[in-house]
Amino acid sequence: ERTTTTRGSRALPASMSATMALGALLGYLIRRRIANADLRLIPAASGAIAGESLVGVLMAMLTAFGVFR
């Protein structure tokens, strides 16, 4: 007898896929219009990722301290 286990989906949620697609499209359009756009796009993307992480940590702390329930 063979048993299988379900480990859950490895796919990204639709909201993340849509956000990544919109970001890629926006980057593509900016690169077409602005020379040396990568000099601005890469730091902006890095800042957005770091900012999202910091907000996630802040939300977790506020939830742990009972500010959000």
pLDDT in tens, 13-33: 777 788 889 989 999 999 999
Higher-pLDDT residue of 46 and 68 is: 46
Q: Is the pTM of this model over 0.85?
A: no
- Cβ(37)–Cβ(31) below 8 Å: yes
CA distance 54 to 48: 10
